[in-house]
Structure 1
Amino acid sequence: MLTMKLIMMTKNLPLKTFTLLGLTFALAFSAVTQAQTLESGNDKNHLLELYTSEGCSSCPPADRLVSSLKDSDELWKKYVPVAFHVDYWDYLGWKDPFASAENSKQQRKKVKDGHARSVYTPAFFIGGKEWRGFFRKRKLSGDNIKTGNLKISVEGNSFQASYNPTQQSYAASKLHIAILGMDRTTKVPKGENAGRTLPHDFVSLQHLQLTANKASQWQQDIDLCRFEPPIAIAAWVDGKKAPAIQALGGKLSLDHC
């Protein structure tokens, strides 16, 4: 039906006008379908995880630290931040709209796997390992090693990823993809942060885990159009013996929606 309407609209137009219209449509189609490619390089980028909650009165300073990376030259190049909101403080009077039971379960698994001593907020992890430097006002830190190149191409709602380790000990066991909400703000009427307006960035809106195959290549469709802009992506691979051995991230376009 759309094709017929376009034909009827353009059949009486001068050739020059028709040519310009065709060029416009071609450019628009090209912009919509153009893939966005992100690569980590071989140097290890550090996944920075924050487990947080709008129902936790001590969490806003940690949220601000994560948000401050928006203005850092190290964003996406050295640190890839992701804020996972947990739901185990919801009973205090405010239900965190970004929280999920899956995020809480994920944090508890870190304790079970020996990567943290207890479950609490705010809790930071660098490269999958607990980092308590926030409470001592220390600067972010991480390993300076070469693990492998992680690459992701995004075209519309289609994601393709590959990972090439520098050596077999850095081979992947799993790929993670997180869609991140940016520039989010919540007015909290109840709970420990009652009366406060809380800004958030790098909020995990959707988190997928894909098992590695022999080729360390993955393909996944994600409905990006259901997310409110602006959004970004974080992706990371777990090694066979260590979590989050490589990561990458960047902003995502929703021009195709």
Structure 2
Amino acid sequence: MASGSLTRLATVALALLAFCGLASAGDQPAGKPLGVVELFTSQGCVSCPPADEFFAELAANPDVVALAYHVDYWDYLGWQDTLSRKENTERQFDYMRAFNSRSVYTPQAVINGRTHVNGASRDAVDGALDAMAKAGEGMQVGIRISHSDDGVVIDAGDAERGGINANAHVIVVYFAPPQTITIGKGENDGRSLTYWNAVSDIQTAGMWHGKAQRYELPMSEITKKGGCAVLLQAVDRNGLPGPIIGAAVIRKPTL
């Protein structure tokens, strides 16, 4: 890896460590991040490393909820992605059907569950986040995170007056801590890449019906992993994902 890339990764690492400390130091006020970026990527995809490096910056940005879904359909090229899960691939295909697309690709960035762009294009990702925020298609429901003795309390707020009035699923997306992988085969053979917020599990924790509601997660589940994101996401009658209207990140507590 070039020295410039190493310098950027070191800067991102320091920023993320600082953010982790803040996130676990105490209760978080109710907030509405700029948006949610879901990156579909693969260690076996030659076009993905630039997207993975840009994603590291997004993961360090406290105003963005950034999740990386490693997919498995490029494994046949010679390298089995060590972070891939079939459930991640299934989520991407669900988005494909929701967007009425004919195919999937990597690196694909889904923004706020509403649209998708090339995940390696900083201009496309930043532009989509800004445009949605201005159009009222950003985060519309505040989510507050607080801590009890052995759990995490999630308070989802009311729908904005005159705004949305819909049901949403409360989706908990667990992710791994950052890790560096040396790739031994395939199109990225010999490269060492650091991956951030790689999704390891997705669970539906409940429903939100437009009114303020409280949910609770056991701290033990978060401690086992790197952390999790809480998404309020509309889901259609066929189970396909729709707009994300609220989001928050819960980091693994620091000792």
Instruction: Please give the TM-score of this superposition, normalised by the length of structure 1.
Output: 0.72
- 1:67 is matched with which residue? 56
- 1:201 is matched with which residue? 196
The 8 Å contact of residues 98 and 203 in structure 1, kept in 2 or not, is answered as yes
Aligned to 1:175, the other structure's residue is in SS state: strand
The 8 Å contact of residues 45 and 246 in structure 1, kept in 2 or not, is answered as no
Supply the distance in 2 between the matched residues of 1:49 and 1:151 (Cα, whole angstroms): 21
- 1:152 is matched with which residue? 145
Structure 1 unaligned runs (5+)?
1-33
- 2:27 is matched with which residue? 37
Supply the distance in 1 between the matched residues of 2:192 and 2:176 (Cα, whole angstroms): 17
Asked if 1:128 corresponds to 2:128, the answer is no
Aligned to 1:182, the other structure's residue is in SS state: coil
Q: CA deviation at 1:219?
A: 2.3
Structure 2 unaligned runs (5+)?
1-23, 237-241
How many residue pairs match? The answer is: 214
Read off the aligned partner of 1:223 and give its amino acid letter: E
Supply the distance in 2 between the matched residues of 1:196 and 1:104 (Cα, whole angstroms): 23
Asked if 1:166 corresponds to 2:160, the answer is yes
- 1:46 is matched with which residue? 35
Asked if 1:112 corresponds to 2:97, the answer is yes
The 8 Å contact of residues 172 and 237 in structure 1, kept in 2 or not, is answered as no
| Aligned-CA RMSD value | 2.7
Distance 1:170 1:76, change over 3 A: farther
Report Cα offsets for 1:66-102 as digits up to 9, x if no partner. 102355xxx222x211101111111221111111000
Point out 4+ residue stretches in structure 1 off by more than 6 angstroms: none
Percent identity between the aligned chains?
26
- 1:76 is matched with which residue? 62
Read off the aligned partner of 1:159 and give its amino acid letter: V
Supply the distance in 2 between the matched residues of 1:136 and 1:199 (Cα, whole angstroms): 19
Instruction: Please give the TM-score of this superposition, normalised by the length of structure 2.
Output: 0.72
- 1:249 is matched with which residue? 249
Supply the distance in 2 between the matched residues of 1:114 and 1:156 (Cα, whole angstroms): 42
Distance 1:233 1:115, change over 3 A: farther
Q: 2:75 aligns with which of 60, 80, 90?
A: 90
